[in-house]
Amino acid sequence: MSWLTNFVRPKIRALVRKTEVPDNLWDTCPACGKMIFHRDLEANQRVCTHCGHHMRLPAKRRLETLFDDGAYARIELPKTIQDPLKFRDQKKYADRLKAAREKTGEQDAILVAHGRVGGAPSVIAAFDFEFQGGSMGIAVGEALLAAARLAVLQQAALIVVPASGGARMQEGILSLMQLPRTVIAAEEVKEAGLPYIVLLTDPTTGGVSASFAMLGDVAIAEPGATIGFAGARVIEETIREKLPAGFQKAEYLLDHGMVDMVVHRHELRATIGKLLGLLTQARAPAEVVALPQKQLDIPAKK
């Protein structure tokens, strides 16, 4: 009986048991609704292979796609006070932070790294939307200041990639104080004569768009990214008018002069590298050509 139970029965069950298939092998495009095999989606940098919709990209993946050969070194970010207001809504803010850190493996909503983009030394600060919607609190403000000062120290360009719902409400006025502090960070880079480029991704809203995100020397946006301050519904209720189609989308802002260019994700590294080359490479002055005397003579007025 033990032979039948321990050997024959498991063999029979193995033959008739259905193979379990993981439920995360396919992703659905939120734009066209079509299914995409997860490996194909990742190989395409999370751009839909059917309609070209740009899905949100994790911060680490963003760094890999922007730095030359995906090579970069992250910096340790400044330590900041945790839960300064002892905030609580349905859950304690401290518990929300703990859950976000367990989910993402990061300490807060931003990563800062340095390397080369298009051969030019660069510092990139990339937001992680998975960490509390990429919201900006004290830690994010400190990280952006650290990124700016590192760029100045290394004489490197600063590239910021926001993906955020705005200021972090659980830190109250302290989160709003990061708006002027991030503006100071951008100005420190500009005063040093270094390029400051902002890559606007989906979404860039609230206090983030009201501060450093709109101060870039060059403002680049990904296709279809939502960029603005308040939500479209809030604006419609305030002005009591229907907003135009595509309002707050990257293409609409390009047409109305709010961004400089909309660039496909596959072309971002090359485009930013070309911009950095134009902004940082010293060029020899043009040769001075002597004009003939006849062209220099100005006829007297009669």
> Which 8-state DSSP code applies to residue 99?
H
What pLDDT shows up at residue 8?
Answer: 61
pLDDT classification of 228: cutoffs 50, 70, 90: very high
What pLDDT shows up at residue 280?
Answer: 87
At residue 19, does pLDDT exceed 60?
no
Q: Which residues pair with 36 in a beta bridge?
A: 27
At residue 15, does pLDDT exceed 90?
no
Burial class (CB in 10 A: 0-12, 13-18, 19+), 170: buried
Residues 6+ apart with CB under 8 A from 270: 118
At residue 257, does pLDDT exceed 60?
yes
Rounded distance between C-alpha atoms, residue 131 and residue 60, angstroms: 13
pLDDT cut 70: percent of the chain above it: 87
203 prior amide bond cis, ω within 30 = yes
Residues across the chain:
302
Tens digit of each residue's pLDDT (9 = 90 or more) over 108-159: 999 999 999 999 999 999 999 999 999 999 999 999 999 999 999 999 999 9
Rounded distance between C-alpha atoms, residue 300 and residue 97, angstroms: 79
Residue-wise DSSP of 26-90: EEE-TTT--EEEHHHHHHTTTB-TTT--B----HHHHHHHHSGGG-EEE-PPPP--SSTT--BSS
Rg (CA), the chain: 26
At residue 218, does pLDDT exceed 80?
yes
pLDDT cut 90: percent of the chain above it: 82
Tens digit of each residue's pLDDT (9 = 90 or more) over 186-207: 999 999 999 999 999 999 999 9
What pLDDT shows up at residue 44?
Answer: 96
Tens digit of each residue's pLDDT (9 = 90 or more) over 26-70: 999 999 999 999 999 999 999 999 999 999 999 999 999 999 999
pTM for this entry:
0.86
Residues 6+ apart with CB under 8 A from 147: 75, 112, 123, 124, 125, 158, 160, 185
